[in-house]
Amino acid sequence: MAKDTNPVNDALDKTDPLALAQSASPGELHRLKLAEEVLALAHGRKKNTSRMAVLSQVMVGAVAVAGMLVNAYQNFNNKKQQQHQAQIDQDRWSKEFVRAQRADKYRAFFETSVLATDPANPDKRMVGYALLQEFVADDDYNSKATRLLEEALVQELRTNTKDGLDDEHRNAVVSIVTALSASEDCKAMEQAARSIDKIAARHAKAQDVEETSGIFHIYVRRLAGRAALVCKTMRDFSLVRRPLIETVLRLPEIIDLKGKLTRSQANEQIARMLIDDCREEVGVTGVTECPSIMQHYQALCAQKSKDKTQNDRKDDDAACSLIKDEGPEIVKLAAGAAAATPSRPDAGDDH
């Protein structure tokens, strides 16, 4: 049985406009046209709907990205503000800490000054002198502590009524001069060494050679010895030693000499005094900085001999020769004393 065919459908399938015009009636063509238009409108509407959907998705994505950017900027801004605030707080606390530290230091200096100037209790004064070493080593309080110690030295000498120094006042003077030499700054030690002028002035008034000689020995051992450790060049060391040299030149009797001395002789006598005091100190105790003093003094002399700008200054030659000859003996004596000191047995060794 033959399959029925529709000429209109065949023409549409073949997209043959001539066959369609011949096979379709005018009414069918009109209906086909209307159907085509309806389909075209439906397709256009669907296409527009798809565009709107895509556009809507794009807009949603753009809004999401913008939100992320805004959120990231807000987080960055918040973090920056937090860091700025943290820095402000840190600066404020740092300033507060420095202020509190200065206030505490001022209070400690005031309380130490009260101890060092106690007129009735020599033990408190000794504690005050020892504590003032810390303030001598402090750049902010060096001048104040040095002045206070100089006045304390004068006061201690004023209350010493015996010929020479009794044990109480000698200990006080040693503590004061030791505190004066506590600075790590050679320039500050130069200022401290000038306090020997007050001792010389007192000697001129009281004519107490024994007392002045005893104090001068303390200055040589504590200040000149300390300067040999602290000062980096012979020139700086000489500036610290200069007030002592000038005192010896004016008052040679305080080192048991008479007549006029040259600077070279005065330097040599002070070096001799330092060696003798160190030799005695090593004999008493093995715990001493004298070996380091001798080694540093020799280093200063060696440096001076290499420095052509100082070769024309011969005032230190005799003193340096003495230190070079006898300084190693002090080092050897100290090493022997340390080796001879019995060590404490190990508390944990019961065998």
Per-residue pLDDT tens over the stretch 260-319: 899 999 999 999 999 999 998 888 876 788 999 999 999 999 988 877 665 556 788 999
Residue 192 lies in a domain: yes
What CA–CA distance (Å, rounded) separates 104 from 260? 51
Task: State mean pLDDT over 39-66.
Answer: 74
Residue 244 lies in a domain: yes
Task: State mean pLDDT over 238-251.
Answer: 90
- Span of 147-151, 154-158, 297-301, 304-308 with lowest mean pLDDT: 304-308
Task: State mean pLDDT over 333-339.
Answer: 78
- Span of 45-59, 79-93, 163-177, 287-301 with lowest mean pLDDT: 45-59
Would you state the structure tokens that stand for residue 267, as one six-digit string?
Answer: 């330097």
Per-residue pLDDT tens over the stretch 103-137: 998 999 999 999 999 988 989 999 999 999 889 88
**Cβ atoms < 10 Å from Cβ of 316:** 23
Q: Are 251 and 200 in contact (CB under 8 A)?
A: yes
pLDDT for 325 equals: 93
Q: Select from 300, 293, 284, 299 the least CA-distant residue to 222.
A: 293
Residue 12 lies in a domain: no
Residue 51 lies in a domain: no
Environment class of 149 (CB within 10 Å of its CB; exposed 0-12, middle 13-18, buried 19+): buried
Predicted structure pTM score? 0.65
Q: Looking at the 3D structure of the chain, how many domains does it have?
A: 1
Residue 205 lies in a domain: yes
Which position has the higher pLDDT, 233 or 346?
233
Q: Which domain holds residue 148?
A: 98-273
Which position has the higher pLDDT, 207 or 183?
183
Residue 81 lies in a domain: no
pLDDT for 350 equals: 43
Residue 127 lies in a domain: yes
Residue 291 lies in a domain: no
